[in-house]
Amino acid sequence: MIPSPLSLRLTGATSLRDGTLQNRSVAIKNGRISKGPLPEVDLSGYYILPGIIDLHGDACERHQMPRPNAAFSIESALRATDRDAAANGVTTAWITQGWSWEGGLRSPDHAEQFLRALDRYRAQALTDLRVQIRCETHTTDTADRLLAAVRRHRVKYVVFNNHIEQTLATAISSPDSLVNWARDTESSAAQMLDVIRRAQAQKRDVPRYLCRLAEAFDTLGVVYGSHDDPDGETRETFSMIGAKICEFPLRRGVAALARAVGDPVLMGAPNVVRGGSQAGHVAAIDLIRTRLCDVLVSDFYYPALLQAAFRLVDDNVLSLPQAWAMISATPAQILRLPDRGVIDYGLRADLVVVHKHTRAIEATISGGRITHLAGEAAQRFLGVRSEIALAAE
């Protein structure tokens, strides 16, 4: 059951408004930031920050298969992802779903099942859940099917991905990884190697495929980009066809090129929290220090979003308003959501209540509804609700 919208004024906290931290109350009514006298909740000792907008999250895949060959229903995974996101301050989340030759949870068959399940689940969702399709470039025979799915399910965000050569090299150099992958897709290592080689054989048709998709996405109003660009040439090619978002560039030069042509750069928040890069790739913190990263995303771990923001503050890289904009205001701008990302009159009441000392998220409000409540903040919210109920009697 979806909770009712709040009609409250949150007082005493430090709120992030107009790009600065202010000792200013925040009123909520009819799901929006409002004005006027309302019952008050004293949130002294807390921050009130805009709800987090996550543009790329793989957590749902883990909830579907937490261990190899231990699959759970998509509906169960969506519910777990929804709660996971809410508990970590996320009010709008793009769940990343593969559209790939890889098979298993990333196959077109599974993607279509996932999209149907999400359509059914949205009526009970706490978080505003959306889908980012991560489309492998070597899926040229699925163009009509992909575009039909995008139209039918109103998908508005797609990123292109090409892991063919990397996967083939890994399969050859590490046979055990191929065996494990084959087991996950209920096939043999030989069958998986054949799948990779057949996908690789589509190379000649990939440019026309991408251009066709790009033209259709422009007509449909789909925002699109690319993932794991290895070099500037790759990024430039994607940018030229309209795939402007540069997600997880592998080299600093790729991010610099993206910045030069006005393409936003997204990196993983876990990379910031863990203080390094993977496999020798450029570190997110290095791009942030040189102003070559615009947005941080959860990648595979929702708690990293808040942790990364405060890590940047503690390391004197950014102020809290600047760091928080990387997970709220800027993502909203990139995905064309003018009704959220900041706290202002008339906008969606998407808020995160953070304890100043522990930095724990103790309340998340999405569209004016409480989606997560814990700790001392819970006592304060429940106290004022009890007072309202008594007054009504």
pLDDT in tens, the chain (393 residues): 566 788 999 999 999 999 999 999 999 999 999 998 999 999 999 999 999 999 999 999 999 998 877 889 999 999 999 999 999 999 999 999 999 998 889 999 999 999 999 999 999 999 999 999 999 999 999 999 999 999 999 999 999 999 888 777 777 777 777 667 666 666 777 777 788 888 889 999 999 999 999 999 999 999 999 999 999 999 999 999 999 999 999 999 999 999 999 999 999 999 999 987 666 799 999 999 999 999 999 999 999 999 999 999 999 999 999 999 999 999 999 999 999 999 999 999 999 999 999 999 999 999 999 999 999 999 999 987 655 554 444
Buried b (16+ CB within 10 A) or exposed e, 113-136: ebbebbeebeeebbbbbbbbbbbb
Residues 369 and 127: their CA atoms lie apart, in Å, by: 10
The H-assigned helical ranges of 24-142 are 59-64, 74-87, 108-121
Buried b (16+ CB within 10 A) or exposed e, 156-192: bbbbbbbbbeebbeebeeeeeebeebbebbeeebeeb
For residue 289, the surrounding DSSP H or E stretch is helix 284-289
> Is the Cβ–Cβ distance between 364 and 370 less than 8 Å?
yes
Task: Flag whether 115 is in a domain.
Answer: yes
Residues contacting 353, CB < 8 A, separation 6+: 10, 13, 43, 46, 47, 48, 49, 361, 362, 363, 364, 365, 377
Specify whether 126 is located in the same domain as 215. Answer: yes
Specify whether 223 is located in the same domain as 241. Answer: yes
What's the domain range around 366?
A: 8-49+343-392
Nearest of 224, 109, 92 to residue 156 by alpha carbon: 224
pLDDT at 174: 74
Task: Flag whether 192 is in a domain.
Answer: yes
pLDDT at 175: 72
Specify whether 112 is located in the same domain as 18. Answer: no
Specify whether 322 is located in the same domain as 374. Answer: no
**Chain position carrying tokens 């998986």:** 192
Specify whether 204 is located in the same domain as 329. Answer: yes
Residues 246 and 38: their CA atoms lie apart, in Å, by: 44
**CATH number of the domain that residue 72 is part of:** 3.20.20.140
pLDDT at 391: 43
Specify whether 180 is located in the same domain as 136. Answer: yes
For residue 353, the surrounding DSSP H or E stretch is strand 351-355
pLDDT at 278: 64
Specify whether 260 is located in the same domain as 118. Answer: yes
Specify whether 76 is located in the same domain as 140. Answer: yes
Specify whether 36 is located in the same domain as 146. Answer: no
Nearest of 310, 352, 303, 390 to residue 88 by alpha carbon: 303
Instruction: Read off the DSSP letter of residue 276.
Output: S
Task: Flag whether 1 is in a domain.
Answer: no
Which of 334, 361, 379 terminates a domain? The answer is: 334
Task: Flag whether 3 is in a domain.
Answer: no
Residues 6 and 89: their CA atoms lie apart, in Å, by: 17
Secondary structure (3-state) at 83: helix
Task: Flag whether 141 is in a domain.
Answer: yes
Specify whether 44 is located in the same domain as 122. Answer: no
pLDDT at 154: 98
pLDDT at 153: 98
Specify whether 365 is located in the same domain as 250. Answer: no
Residues 75 and 379: their CA atoms lie apart, in Å, by: 31
Task: Flag whether 2 is in a domain.
Answer: no
> Is the Cβ–Cβ distance between 334 and 159 less than 8 Å?
no
pLDDT at 392: 43
**CATH number of the domain that residue 361 is part of:** 2.30.40.10
Residues 288 and 368: their CA atoms lie apart, in Å, by: 32
Please tell me the total count of domains within the chain. Answer: 2
Specify whether 63 is located in the same domain as 142. Answer: yes
Which of 334, 356, 381 terminates a domain? The answer is: 334
Task: Flag whether 382 is in a domain.
Answer: yes
Pair of tokens at residue 219: 């007509």
Which of 293, 316, 334 terminates a domain? The answer is: 334
3-state secondary structure 180-223: HHHHHCCCCHHHHHHHHHHHHCCHHHHHHHHHHHHHHHHHHCCE
pLDDT at 208: 97
Pair of tokens at residue 150: 């995008």
Task: Flag whether 369 is in a domain.
Answer: yes
